[in-house]
Amino acid sequence: MILYVHDDLTDEVHARHGVGSTAVTLATEILTLVRRPHVVVLTLAPQLDALVAQGPRAPFALALGIGPAGERVARQVHARTGWFPAIRRVDLAREEDGHGGYAVVSLGGVPLADQLAGVEAAASLAIVDDTIFSGITLCTLLAALPASLRVRASAFCLRGVAESLPDVGCPIAVGFAAPGKLLEEVSFINASGLVRRGAIRRAGAPPLAFFERPEWMRDWFGEAAGPLVERCARLNALLEPDGRPSLPARV
């Protein structure tokens, strides 16, 4: 299986802690250790370049960014293209249901229907996320839209599993589409998820970072898992010293 690791960690740690800091040293060591023969490290610029190259497009009346990551991508794309002059965040996330599956839940206690109040007035709609993995989150959002708006919606993401894209339910533009069967031949993670809690959300339990699932780390990184877990735990203590998930710095 090819594991794609999006490096959203290096720039953020540099911005927050500065060159020469312990945090930057740890982030550099983490990105070095993840580089295995079956691991491909992705960076933002080529994905963003490929996505915006799929224009030009008329500006959308409204863009819904899925979570902080989707909102951030929408703003990055808009800065380059002017496609998304009105951006609204919708806080949705995939959560382990405790029975081996996943559910899509609204974060912060605000029901999805309330988060979508008034969207039906939009003449055109963009839905923006950073990654399309199984597509369950995007499909959940689409299903919650009025049918009359759903047919006017287009989706945008930086990266995705090619196999998942046809089932999304609306036109979609992707910066990088990885070929292969989901979880058998291809998978995606964010480097920040190795370190920050929130990469794994669980019903009725605190969120985790990937380093707190050592069995996953061994599957992904083999003999490098031990050194990776140790460095991720140390960097987590610097980024989240109170033990609670925190939002990444804007970079």
- 238 pLDDT above the threshold of 90: yes
- Domain assignment present for 246: no
H/E run at residue 159:
strand 153-161
Are residue 168 and residue 196 in the same domain, yes or no? no
- 247 pLDDT above the threshold of 90: no
* Pairing verdict, β 87-90 and 62-66: parallel
How many domains does the structure of the chain reveal? 2
Are residue 65 and residue 113 in the same domain, yes or no? yes
Give mean pLDDT, residues 188-207: 96
Instruction: Extract the tokens encoding 237.
Output: 């203590």
SS (H, E, C) 69-137: HHHHHHHHHHHHHCCCCCEEEECEEEEECCCCCEEEEEHHHCCHHHHCCCHHHCCCEEEEEEEECCCHH
Which tens digits make up the pLDDT trace of 138-186? Answer: 999 999 999 999 999 999 999 999 999 999 999 999 999 999 999 999 9
Question: Cα–Cα distance between 135 and 155 in angstroms, integer?
Answer: 11
Which tens digits make up the pLDDT trace of 90-103? Answer: 999 999 998 889 99
Are residue 58 and residue 139 in the same domain, yes or no? yes
Question: What pLDDT score was predicted for residue 246?
Answer: 63
Please indicate, yes or no, whether the overall pTM of this predicted structure exceeds 0.75. yes
Which tens digits make up the pLDDT trace of 101-111? Answer: 999 999 888 99
In the sheet where 102-106 sits, what is the strand order?
Answer: 102-106, 92-96, 200-202, 205-208
- 249 pLDDT above the threshold of 90: no
- Domain assignment present for 225: yes
Q: Provide the residue range defining the domain that includes 150.
A: 45-176
- 39 pLDDT above the threshold of 80: yes
Are residue 142 and residue 122 in the same domain, yes or no? yes
Are residue 115 and residue 18 in the same domain, yes or no? no
Question: Cα–Cα distance between 20 and 187 in angstroms, integer?
Answer: 32
Are residue 60 and residue 165 in the same domain, yes or no? yes
- Domain assignment present for 205: yes
Are residue 92 and residue 150 in the same domain, yes or no? yes
Question: Cα–Cα distance between 216 and 213 in angstroms, integer?
Answer: 6
- Domain assignment present for 248: no
Are residue 118 and residue 193 in the same domain, yes or no? no
pLDDT confidence tier of residue 38, bands split at 50, 70 and 90: very high
Cα dist from 170 to 23, 51, 242, whole Å: 41, 16, 41
Are residue 81 and residue 154 in the same domain, yes or no? yes
